């Protein structure tokens, strides 16, 4: 019974982590059809913003929940204005540009902070289940994943900004005739997706080693989760994260973390082969 609880917590942690690291990419790719290969570096910048803020004496909650997303969101706005806005509709060029951007960010961060691993202590304690130990930070990540998804759903479904964003992504010319500035909507959407990525990086800082190359560990998982989920930003992301997170953690428990990653990627390939339009393309058509 004790081990079942621990395994369940590991599965919850895996699912929550996938939701968090993929949510920002789902907004940018799902709405704007931009393949942002610098997504992992946005996560890394959020983690570094948290670590540096805490080192400067800022409260860790403020650093994770406010400073990290605001900083990376501003970076996203600058990137969109200086780079992405010139590449809409040019898929290959966008991939090359964001890949180059990722190299620049990693190189610049390495020059500034070195290639050593840094981090922050978990702000929450642990608890025991029989002979096993676990951290209260695990259920906290699950709660944050739920709040992020709920927040995105509420904004997209019930706010004027969400309605305008969906309208521009579907038909920018028609939206422009109604007085909407598509360029500003694109900028805000990219910035929002970057901010969510920064929040995820900040939340992962206490449980992951923060290093300039840490984004490479997350980019592949984020992309297969978003692609496996399909066109639905929310339902696709939630179902794909649940499926892949469960497979990854269960496989890692019975084998090793490395084999867990391998089995995860195999499952993703099989899923995309069986459902080329993703889970939402088959089961959640027309939903957010």
List the pLDDT tens digit at each of the 288 positions of the chain: 556 766 676 778 788 888 999 999 988 887 888 889 999 999 999 999 999 999 999 999 999 999 999 999 999 999 999 999 988 888 889 999 999 999 999 999 999 998 888 888 888 877 666 666 677 888 889 899 999 999 999 998 889 888 888 888 888 888 888 888 888 999 999 999 999 999 999 999 998 889 999 998 889 889 898 888 887 888 888 888 988 888 888 888 788 888 888 888 899 889 888 888 888 777 777 666
Could you tell me the end-to-end alpha-carbon distance of the chain, in angstroms, rounded to an integer?
38
Both structure tokens of 55 = 């080192």
Q: What is the dihedral of CA 216, 218, 219, 225, to 10 degrees?
A: 160
pLDDT at 107: 94
Q: By the 8 A CB rule, do 238 and 149 touch?
A: yes
pLDDT at 280: 78
Per-residue pLDDT, 101:
94
pLDDT for res 129: 64
Q: Which class for 176: exposed (0-12), middle (13-18), buried (19 or more C-beta within 10 A)?
A: middle
Question: CB under 8 Å, gap of 24 or more: what pairs does 109-112 form?
Answer: 109/44, 109/45, 109/48, 109/212, 110/212
Q: 210: which DSSP letter? A: B
């Amino acid at each position: 019974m004790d081990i079942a609880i621990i395994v369940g917590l590991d599965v919850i942690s895996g699912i929550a982590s996938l939701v968090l690291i993929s949510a920002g990419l789902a907004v940018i790719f799902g709405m704007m059809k931009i393949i942002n290969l610098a997504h992992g570096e946005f996560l890394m910048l959020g983690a570094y913003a948290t670590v540096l803020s805490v080192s400067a004496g800022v409260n860790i909650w403020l650093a994770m929940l406010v400073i990290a997303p605001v900083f990376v969101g501003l970076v996203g706005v600058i990137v969109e204005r200086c780079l992405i806005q010139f590449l809409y509709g040019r898929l290959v060029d966008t991939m090359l540009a964001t890949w180059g951007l990722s190299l620049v960010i990693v190189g610049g961060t390495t020059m500034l902070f070195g290639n050593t691993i840094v981090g922050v202590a978990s702000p929450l304690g642990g608890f025991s289940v029989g002979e096993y130990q676990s951290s209260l930070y695990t259920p906290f990540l699950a709660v944050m994943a739920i709040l992020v998804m709920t927040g995105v759903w509420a904004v997209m479904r019930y706010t004027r900004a969400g309605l305008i964003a969906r309208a521009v992504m579907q038909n920018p010319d028609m939206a422009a005739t109604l007085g909407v500035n598509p360029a500003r909507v694109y900028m805000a959407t990219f910035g929002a997706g970057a901010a969510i990525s920064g929040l995820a990086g900040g939340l992962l800082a206490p449980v992951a080693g923060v290093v300039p190359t840490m984004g490479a560990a997350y980019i592949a998982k984020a992309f297969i989760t978003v692609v496996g989920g399909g066109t639905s930003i929310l339902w696709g992301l939630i179902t794909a994260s649940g499926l892949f997170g469960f497979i990854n953690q269960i496989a890692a428990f019975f084998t090793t973390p490395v084999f867990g990653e391998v089995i995860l990627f195999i499952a993703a390939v099989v899923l995309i082969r069986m459902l080329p339009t993703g889970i939402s393309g088959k089961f959640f058509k027309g939903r957010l």
